[in-house]
Amino acid sequence: MIKIDLPRVIASPGTRTFEREQLVRAQSALDRGENHNRVLAQLEASLRPLALRNNLTPDVADLYLLLIHDPAAQQFDFAAHRISDVQHQDRAIFAGGCFWCMVEPFETMPGIVSVLSGYTGGTTAHPTYEQVKGGHTGHVEAVEVIFDTRQVTYDQLLQLYWQLSDPTDNSGQFSDRGANYRPVIFTTSAAQMAAATAARAHLAAHNPYRQPIAVDIRPATTFWPAENYHQQFYRKFPQRAKHLERERKQYLFWKRVTGKLLPKITSD
């Protein structure tokens, strides 16, 4: 028997009205003692049209994966994302477009402890994906990286960041348009601010781009974790992640052949 927490998803602020109506109807049927499997099958059928278009809100999408017994219905261990060694660990925050594409390159880098997708830089507490995507909170999609300073330096993280983003585009990243996708480096200390500022100046001085560097550098504010559905997206949905990565590469290629970027981004 599938164990799902309908009340939690019903209460989620990110759940849309139509989704909530289906969930409430299912919960009421269960409360009346109707057949559990039949009720869940009916719920799955009512959500399926939106699921097939990848248009369910995050918590409902997680629930749907449970209903169809999809292996992607896995929970991220949010409690494990923390600095456990204050002497040898630090955190860095980068925004460079859709956070789905930002996790794997950092997470697979030696010395990385944990990578968390989330929202930061805005004014709304506990924002939902729908709110951020709608541009109502001032937040950007970002990743928070906890790293072991004995194995990888902040400068090395910066070098990787320049390869993942288009630092000349402050109106979004690649095919993702809007202020919530703009590139920003959020620094957690004076040392990080100095390093990020120097790295940006070095990049601009060596002029590997045809347009000015537009990446903002700001002191970090509260980093709000994104919903479970968004965590480690590349592991749960490898085909969709590969498709997004291809789109990024094609977009960069287009910018280079149209003269908006030079043929190669240098890291000297």
Cβ neighbour number for residue 268 with a 10 Å cutoff: 6
Is 101 among the residues known to form the active site? no
Residues 6+ apart with CB under 8 A from 264: 208
CB 219 within 8 A of CB 185: no
CB 81 within 8 A of CB 146: yes
CB 222 within 8 A of CB 138: no
Cβ neighbour number for residue 95 with a 10 Å cutoff: 28
d(CA 94, CA 106): 10
Q: Which of 135, 141, 158 is nearest to 233 (CA)?
A: 141
Of the residues 67, 98, 157, 244, only one is catalytic, namely 98
Residues 6+ apart with CB under 8 A from 262: 208, 209, 210, 256
Residues 6+ apart with CB under 8 A from 241: 100, 101, 104, 233, 234
Q: Helix (H, G, I), strand (E, B), or coil: what is residue 219?
A: strand
Query: Could you give the C-alpha distances from 248 to 19, 22, 94, in angstroms and in order?
Result: 32, 36, 17
Active site residues: 98
